[in-house]
Structure 1
Amino acid sequence: MALLDVEHLRVDLRTHRGSAPAVRDLSFSLERGQTLGIIGESGCGKSLSALSLLGLAPDNGTVSGSIRLEGRELVGLADRDWRAIRGDRIAMIFQEPMTALNPVHTIGDQVTEPLRLHQGLRGRAARERAVALLTRVGIRDAEQRLAAYPHQFSGGQRQRIMIAMALACGPEVLIADEPTTALDVTVQQQVLGLIRELVAESGMALVLISHDLGLVAQNVERMLVMYGGTVVESGPTAQVFGRPVHPYTRGLMAARPTLAQRLASHHGEPLPTIPGSVPGLFGLPPGCPFAGRCAFTEATCHTEVPPEWTVADGHRVRCSRREAILGASETIAVHA
């Protein structure tokens, strides 16, 4: 039995224009200690998928499909039951460290909150545990800084505090949603190194969400590529980077500038891009969400849901133009 098993997850958002599918047919499983990356452009459904795993889909969202934690079905749980799981067995490092912390509560109050709610720790015991957590994530003089407020910390320090909060109760699944947003390169590497170290120590399963291909390549064993709320390619990270097959995946990787391209761009040569833009939820075609932006698009791509098929062991792609894209796989420049 998998630790976390997601099958055919779907999230529909109700708006004044009607209902629109924001996440469609998302499936994956995680064992203890496994790491999974989810990549894609903004608006492809990454963060909404993550929030659904915590029972935090927006009020105008309807979640269907299946999310099982050690066999227990989570879809449809009452909010009271979700609160018992959220922050205890499944925890999340939210995307924006500058706004995710509550500005009117001290850091000590915020770090000890999950300890009070889930482990019943109070007073000195909770304080000592908070100090240990903050020290573990690299906050100096942690005991003295418990009384400080978020605005008194740098962006990198706030990100570390969020990690401490997420790890407070020793969750079995850690979701990191763009954990290095707005951090400089040095702090990014420190934060990612800390997450890797903590996951290895505790045997947690990790879901890392990012638009940064290099970050995913270096930090996870398996990956999902999402577009238009759908997984278009999935598999072991080394295989997907070594041989990307779906036209969208190829476009993402080809758009990563090499050193030669960076130098050329200074001389007026444009960097590679994916033509067009991500369609809105109400602009998605009923068939393949990438239809129209894809060089292999034909009429049926707009109307027929593409089938999923296997490239190699564990490496799967969802596309109707199998022969065409495989035939072109050696001619498309990709930089892993």
Structure 2
Amino acid sequence: MSESRLPLLTVTELRVVLPTARGPAAALRGVSFALGAGEKLGLIGESGCGKSLTALALMGLLPEGALVEGSIRLAGQELVGLPEDAMARLRGDRLAMIFQEPMTALNPLHTIGAQVAEPLRLHRGLDRAAARAEALRLLDRVKLPEAAKRLDAHPHQLSGGQRQRVMIAMALACGPELLIADEPTTALDVTLQHEVLMLIDELVQGSGMALLLISHDLGVMARHVQRVAVMYGGTVVESGPTTAVFEHLAHPYTQGLYAARPRLGATRGTRLATIPGRVPELADLPAGCPFADRCGRVVDDCRRAMPPEVAVGIGHMARCLRVAVAVP
């Protein structure tokens, strides 16, 4: 395969160990996926499954003391072990991220115009006036109401939806190759959630930018990404084209997530299905399948070692001993 046909992003056997009060804990355990230019990939799973930690690893923003093994390659460049000054040159330029809660991600002491302009001055060398003019264009592009009047506003003077649009403008300022959106609609109402997700789709489409969308909402994934990777216990337990994954639901954890989704038209008083148990603490992850203690199909072999990935369809993989292997 020629260099031009290689994926934009390739993550291979990514492992992250975090220091905890109970000793080192394996937070990511062999995460692997690839993402091409212009593609949209979704990471899905409950809180504590490793989705946001994967994003922070890609951005080089892991907690102090984290140990990282494996490979993260962006357009062929290895990011694991890259010095912080080199990583800082990538963040906000070739790599950008929309964080979950803009009120904590934005600096309360600086105006939104200054914050959107900052990556332009840092990475593009624009002077103050040129950066301010480009910041206004970006805020108009993300459809911030009365953008010119809000350039000198502070984050607390904006609504949650408006702050999220500012975060998107900041992320897009330098035209990144990879955009990571980590639960970008968590704090918004349903109408604003739809508007923000459609805005991200519109901005990504046709730009050649790759999108890594993190969410716990299967409906969001079904509508907004081409491929999905289901995470549990710090690893990818199922992955493939979104349609194939949702039609087959090969892994018991994916089946549980799908069964637990709210349904329109359900009779009043109908109880939602739930997955028994809870996501284990990092220090309590078992040696075998991380879902073993919550799975109704578990056998002894599930607890002995991490199950290997098996093909259950074209490009559709599941990490489970109890799924049918695809016929060649």
Q: Following the alignment from structure 2 to structure 1, what is the Cα–Cα distance between the partners of residues 278 and 298? A: 15
Q: Aligned-pair distance for 1:257?
A: 2.5
**Counterpart in the other structure of 1:20:** 25
The amino acid of 2:307's aligned partner reads: P
User: How big is each residue's C-alpha offset from its partner over 1:88-140, in whole Å with a ceiling of 9 and x where there is no partner?
Assistant: 00100001122211111111111011001100011211111000000111112
Matched, 1:180 2:181: no
- Is 1:215 the equivalent of 2:216? no
What is the one-letter code of the residue matched to 2:33? F
Partner of 1:203: 208
Contact 1:225/1:231 (<8 A) preserved: yes
Partner of 1:331: none
TM-score by length of 1: 0.93
Structure 2: any 5+ residue segments left out of the alignment?
Answer: 1-5
Q: 2:311 matched to which residue of 1?
A: 310
- The secondary structure found in structure 2 opposite 1:65 is strand
Cα deviation, residue 260, structure 1 = 4.7
Q: Is contact 2:117-2:131 (8 Å) kept?
A: yes
Equivalent runs, 1:93-108 vs 2, <5 Å: 93-108=98-113
Mapped to 2, the partners of 1:130 and 1:164 lie a distance apart of 8
TM-superposed deviation, 1:14:
1.2
Query: Aligned to 1:84, which of 65, 83, 89?
Result: 89
What does the per-residue CA deviation read over 1:203-227, in whole Å, with 9 as the maximum and x for residues that have no partner? Answer: 1000000001101110000000000
Instruction: Give how far 1:4 is off.
Output: 0.8
Q: Name 2:133's counterpart in structure 1.
A: 128
Q: Where in structure 1 do 4 or more consecutive aligned residues deviate above 6 Å?
A: none
Q: Matched residue of 1:206: which SS?
A: strand
Aligned alpha-carbon RMSD (Å): 1.3
Checking the alignment, whether the CA contact within 8 Å between 2:310 and 2:317 is kept in structure 1 is yes
% identity of equivalent residues = 62
In structure 1, what is the equivalent of residue 264 of structure 2? 259
Distance across 1 between alignment mates of 2:322 and 2:74: 36
Q: Are positions 1:240 and 2:245 aligned together?
A: yes
Partner Cα distance (2:323, 2:146) in 1: 58
Please give the TM-score of this superposition, normalised by the length of structure 2. Answer: 0.95
Superposed CA offset, 1:306-336 (max 9, x none)? 111000100000012235x99xxxxxxxxxx
Where 2:122 maps in the other structure, the secondary structure is helix
Aligned to 2:196: 191
Q: Residues of 1 paired with 2:258 and 2:112: CA distance?
A: 39
- Take 1:207 and 1:271, find their aligned partners in 2: how far apart are those partners? 29
Contact kept? 2:114, 2:132, Cα under 8 Å: no
Asked if 2 retains the 8 angstrom alpha-carbon contact of 1:111 and 1:130, the reply is yes
What secondary structure is seen at the aligned counterpart in 2 of 1:147? Answer: coil
**1:277 Cα deviation from its structure 2 partner:** 0.8
CA distance in 2, matches of 1:31, 1:251: 29
- Is 1:41 matched up with 2:46? yes
For 1:273 and 1:16, the matched residues in 2 are separated by 31
Residues 1:71 and 2:76 are matched in the alignment = yes
Instruction: Decide whether the 8 Å contact of 2:11 with 2:72 is kept in 1.
Output: yes
CA contact (8 A) 1:15 1:60 kept: no
> Number of matched residues?
321
1:7 aligns with 2:12: yes
Question: Per-residue deviation at 1:144?
Answer: 2.4
Aligned to 2:37: 32
**Cα gap change, 1:260 to 1:190, in 2 (>3 Å):** closer
**1:322 maps onto 2:293 in alignment:** no
**Unmatched 5+ stretches in structure 1:** 327-336
- The letter of the residue matching 1:113 is E
